[in-house]
Amino acid sequence: MASFYLLKHSAVHTTLLQWYETEGRQELPWRLTRDPYSIWVSEIMLQQTQVKTVLERFYFPFLERFPTLQDLAHASEDEVLKMWEGLGYYTRARHMYRAAQSLQHELPQSVHELMRLPGIGRSTAHAIAAFAYQTPVPILDANVKRILYRFFGKKRLAEKALWDLAYQLFDEEHPFEYNQAMMDLGSLVCRARDARCHHCPLHSGCTAAKTDPLNFPEKKQKRAVPIRRKDIVVITCKNRYALKQRTSRFLKGLWGFIEYETNTCSDEKKLGALIQKYSHFHLHADVYIRHEYDDTYDYFTLEEICKLPLSQADIKIVNMLK
């Protein structure tokens, strides 16, 4: 079975590897290390996040603060979230922290064991197994998926079918380089909004390249993003400000100012307004300040607040206070 596919795609494998040697991004720091923990950090950060953002703002500071799995496990959740501040999808950080605390020494090596850890699904488990432990398994991320849709000329595929194709095209002889090459090809050549087929090593065998590659896969229709209105009240007393730590799923663990659905008292002083765009709604908030003491909340100085993990919306409010 495996040798059949190897034979079937050997020409593809050869040209892909040649392309990777000259055009690949071999200098990415998580490709230069063999440390499974560092590779794990990179894989979690890179979920739904551009390489540029992780590379320039988050990967190195996080690893400097938490150089090892043990350092992460022994930190506080506030510290971990603070290093994640601005990266978004904060559940990733809390899951990684929880996983670190559950591990005695190092990450497990098998796809199956990796998938049992919080925050590691099928895609990340394959990536860690492939990149940290050189396990001969294919990866399947957004880049690889797009290549598969186009190469095999499919408009829509279920997850199962995508994994089947990933295994079909996989180069068992050069698993590590093949996987990295596929990521780079999807990121640099076979791009979502720009298929540069004339630069693609898989061009001759690609179905969609012969027609309209940008229409593979079929684009999904998306609903309009709803707007949510809120009033945010900065409650202040003696140069300190009231904050509470969020406990519901949205921005869980982060600290923030007090929010109301809308239309609180009118005698309050207005500080300003803000718009924050989230993935599933847009927040339009008016921000007020009120002098009082309410022992429901914890109070912090501006200096202390800046050391707490905050959402981008709350950071905008902090800047109104400066």
Binding of DNA by 157 (CB under 7 A): no
Residue from the set 5, 31, 172, 177 that interacts with DNA by CB under 7 A: 31
Structure-token pair, residue 312 = 């981008």
Asked if residue 143 binds DNA (CB under 7 A), the reply is yes
Nearer to DNA, 11 or 273 (CB): 273
CA dihedral 40, 46, 47, 50 (to 10 degrees): 180
Residue among 48 and 102 whose Cβ is closer to DNA: 48
Give which of 31, 1, 45, 2 is closest to 177, Cα–Cα.
Answer: 31
Smallest distance from DNA to CB 295, Å: 27
Short-list 322, 317, 321, 314, CA closest to 82? 314
Give the DSSP per-residue string, 16-46.
HHHHHHHHS-TT-HHHH---HHHHHHHHHHT
Q: Per CB under 7 A, does 102 bind DNA?
A: no
From 9-17, 50-58, 65-73, 229-237, give the range in contact with DNA by CB under 7 A.
50-58
Q: Is 167 in the site for DNA (CB under 7 A)?
A: no
- 52, 105, 238, 322: which one contacts DNA (CB under 7 A)? 52
**Is 64 tagged catalytic?**
no
CB nearer DNA, residue 98 or residue 174: 98
- Is residue 245 near DNA by the rule CB under 7 A? no
Between 50 and 204, whose beta carbon lies closer to DNA?
A: 50
Q: Which parts of the chain fold into alpha helices (H)?
A: 2-23, 29-32, 36-45, 51-53, 59-65, 69-74, 77-84, 91-102, 111-115, 122-132, 142-151, 159-169, 175-188, 302-305, 312-321
50 binds DNA (CB under 7 A): yes
Q: Which two tokens stand for residue 231?
A: 């009033």
Write out the two tokens for 261.
């659905």
Calpha distance 42→63 (Å, rounded): 10
What lies within 8 Å, CB to CB, of 39 at 6+ separation is 30, 33, 128, 131, 132
User: Is 258 within 8 Å of 233 (Cβ atoms)?
Assistant: yes
Q: Based on the shown chain and the rule CB under 7 A, indicate whether residue 27 belongs to the binding site for DNA.
A: no
Q: How far apart are CA 120 and CA 116, in angstroms?
A: 7
| Position 90 contacts DNA (CB under 7 A) | yes
Return the DSSP state at 205.
Answer: G
Q: Is 26 in the site for DNA (CB under 7 A)?
A: no
Q: Does 38 bind DNA (CB under 7 A)?
A: no
Q: How far is the CB of 55 from DNA (least distance, A)?
A: 9
Q: Tell whether residue 120 is a contact of DNA (CB under 7 A).
A: yes
Residues binding DNA: what is the number (CB under 7 A)? 57
Of 52 and 238, CB closest to DNA: 52
186 binds DNA per the rule CB under 7 A: yes
Residues 275-304 that bind DNA (CB under 7 A): 276-280
Say whether residue 187 binds DNA (CB under 7 A).
yes
> Is-contact 151 208, C-beta < 8 A?
yes
**135/175 Cα distance (integer angstroms):** 8
Q: From the candidates 21, 27, 43, 303, give the one annotated as an active-site residue.
A: 43
Nearer to DNA, 8 or 252 (CB): 252
CA 251, CA 157: separation in Å to the nearest integer?
Answer: 32
Between residue 59 and residue 88, which ones bind DNA under the rule CB under 7 A?
A: 86-88
Question: Using CB under 7 A as the criterion, which residues of the chain lie in contact with DNA when the complex forms?
Answer: 28, 30-31, 42-43, 46-53, 86-91, 95, 118-125, 127, 141-143, 146, 158-159, 183, 186-187, 191-194, 219, 222, 248-252, 276-280, 311-313
Residues marked active site are found at 43
